[in-house]
């Protein structure tokens, strides 16, 4: 390989790496934007932006949260009742006050969309 070609290749790789690192995640469709906003304000502190998890809560992009393992009913129940730690070592999830079923329906639709994007089901 000639030197200029090697330089061009290296530049190319650097540029595509930078582009990949900067590319924001695919935007959710507009009908999920309410669910996204609710998720970000009520759940993301522990479950992470994009449901990627944080040091204080699990990611919903983990296989165990796909619909056959954790049906939507589990997603309604968790904020209403709280969750005793059983899958992880983060500790218990507290009840999330002031959130109604309509809000949860929107949040769940958004979480399922994120899970689909991540290819877990």
User: Nearest approach, Cβ of 71 to ligand HEC (angstroms)?
Assistant: 9
User: Nearest approach, Cβ of 58 to ligand HEC (angstroms)?
Assistant: 5
Sign of CA pseudo-dihedral 114, 117, 118, 121? positive
Q: Say how far apart CA 3 and CA 9 lie, in whole Å.
A: 10
Q: What is the DSSP letter of 93?
A: B
Chain centre to alpha carbon of residue 20: 19
**Complex with ligand HEC: residue 80 or 117, whichever CB lies closer:** 80
**Complex with ligand HEC: residue 13 or 74, whichever CB lies closer:** 74
Q: Say how far apart CA 86 and CA 69 lie, in whole Å.
A: 14
**Complex with ligand HEC: residue 29 or 91, whichever CB lies closer:** 91
Close Cβ partners of 75 (under 8 Å, ≥ 6 residues apart):
104, 107, 108, 111
User: Nearest approach, Cβ of 20 to ligand HEC (angstroms)?
Assistant: 30
Q: Which residues bind ligand HEC (CB under 6 A)?
A: 42-43, 45-47, 56-58, 70, 74-75, 78-79, 83, 85-88, 90-91, 93-94, 96, 99, 107
**Which segments within the chain are labelled E, that is strand?**
none
User: Nearest approach, Cβ of 35 to ligand HEC (angstroms)?
Assistant: 10
**Complex with ligand HEC: residue 87 or 101, whichever CB lies closer:** 87
């Amino acid at each position: 390989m000639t030197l200029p070609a090697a330089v061009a290749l290296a530049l190319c790789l650097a540029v595509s790496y930078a582009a990949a690192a900067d590319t924001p995640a695919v935007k959710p469709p507009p009908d999920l934007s309410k669910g996204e906003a609710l998720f970000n304000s009520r759940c993301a502190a522990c479950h992470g932006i994009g449901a990627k998890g944080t040091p204080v809560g699990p990611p919903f992009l983990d296989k165990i949260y796909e619909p056959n393992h954790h049906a939507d009913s589990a997603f309604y129940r968790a904020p209403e009742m709280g969750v005793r730690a059983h899958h992880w070592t983060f500790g218990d999830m507290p009840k999330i006050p002031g959130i109604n079923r309509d809000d949860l329906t929107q949040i769940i639709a958004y979480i399922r969309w994120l899970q689909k994007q991540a290819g877990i089901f």
